[in-house]
Amino acid sequence: MENENMVQSAEQSWRVTDRRSFLLKGAAVGAGAIGASRLLADPAPASADGGPTPGDVAILQFLAAAELLEADLWDQYNELAGIQDREVPGGSGNAPYTKALSVLDEDMSQYIHDNADDEQSHAMFINAYLEAHGAGSINLDKFRTLPSSKATGARQIGRLTNLMELTVDTSWWTRYRSDSKNPDLGDTLPQAVPDLAAGPHPAIPRSDADLRPSKHLQAIANTAAFHFGAIEQGGTSLYASLAQRVTSPEVLRILLSIGPTETMHFQTWQDKAGNAPPLTDPDTGLTFPDLNGHGEALQTNLIMPEPTVFLDRKFPICSIIRPTETEGAAVGAATALTASGLFKGQSKEFFAAVTALAQAADAAQRQ
């Protein structure tokens, strides 16, 4: 709770330590620290030929950080259940976990690999673009301090994210099946898998002891499947929300080109999560219900976004990405990830740094 509050309300500052490499300092408070609001107050070009504005840079820096965090978690999934090759190296695979995920789809390893590859490419491109325009790129290496899984196949290196104590919000499942509710209009959607939202639960085996009994391991694989969808629907909304604050046409092109790939990921994972077998974990009691036979709000084959209310309830319903509200989008994303337990064990410096980047992105204004 302390960390969640930190992301929601911390008023930390941040410092550009090197023009070509923005190393997050987290708790860089005091003399010489440059607040995010001051950075955004600098004179800025506002035309297509003028390059990114300071607000655009702040948005790209937050997205670079988000993509690095995504790349870290997808690397962990790929080490255990993906395809380890030149594109996504590292790890040696975990056969029982891979088999449990293949219950959902026999091509899960390929999908995990490709998602990992995509997120790495996003982070690398955004950082390269920032550097090409004389802005600070994002480097989170100092925060790679979280432990790895001890299960066979995982590298024993420091991590940015924690996949072993997750509380997974599964309201995205019902959100995209509702024809009358939209979180942008203040609506709350029910959980598809209530036990996952109560957490915490592992989405990867913590050690080889988690590889049995089989229903326990399948519950871990099912948790991963719903986590895949939760992460990628978040990215889908984040790019759409922040695009509304961008000034430079070229930066807008970047967000409109990367964002839909997150949507393609989400569509894939929503389909696969629907194949998670109903079961109760004999070790933890975590229950995955049969989602069919309980109306359209849970029906597994309804993977296209159901038309719903948009902008104002007076308008006809429309098939849309939701949410896309731009106000507070970056801080909201950081808060949601923190609430999920993805950063459990991280330092106060880390949370302060993420907060500063999110606040700077949310302060950006289209000019």
Give per-residue pLDDT as tens, 58-105: 999 999 999 999 999 999 999 999 999 999 999 999 999 999 999 999
Three-state secondary-structure class, residue 222: helix
Number of structural domains found in the chain: 1
β-bridge mates for residue 201, sequence order: 166
Q: What DSSP assignment string belongs to 45-63?
A: --SGGG---HHHHHHHHHH
Both tokens of 186, joined, read 């203040």
Secondary element (H or E) of residue 131: helix 108-132
Which tokens sit at 39? 């950075």
How far apart, in whole angstroms, are the C-alpha atoms of residue 12 and residue 21?
Answer: 20
154/40 Cα distance (integer angstroms): 41
What range defines the domain where residue 93 resides?
2-363
pLDDT at 280: 98
Chain-centroid distance, C-alpha 123? 13
Q: Check: CB of residue 305 under 8 Å from CB of residue 240.
A: no
Question: pTM score, two decimals?
Answer: 0.89
Strand ranges (DSSP E) for the chain?
22-23, 138-139, 279-280, 287-288
Angle at 164 between CA 159 and CA 169, to 5 degrees: 110
Ranges in the chain, pLDDT < 70: 1-49
State the CB neighbour count (10 A cutoff) for residue 30.
8
CB 120, CB 38: distance < 8 Å = no
The predicted pLDDT at position 95 comes to: 98
pLDDT, position 13: 30
> Backbone phi, then psi, for 23, in 5-degree steps?
-90, 115
CB atoms within 10 A of CB 199: 16
Q: Which residues pair with 308 in a beta bridge?
A: 318
Rounded-to-integer distance, Cα 71 and Cα 363, Å? 26
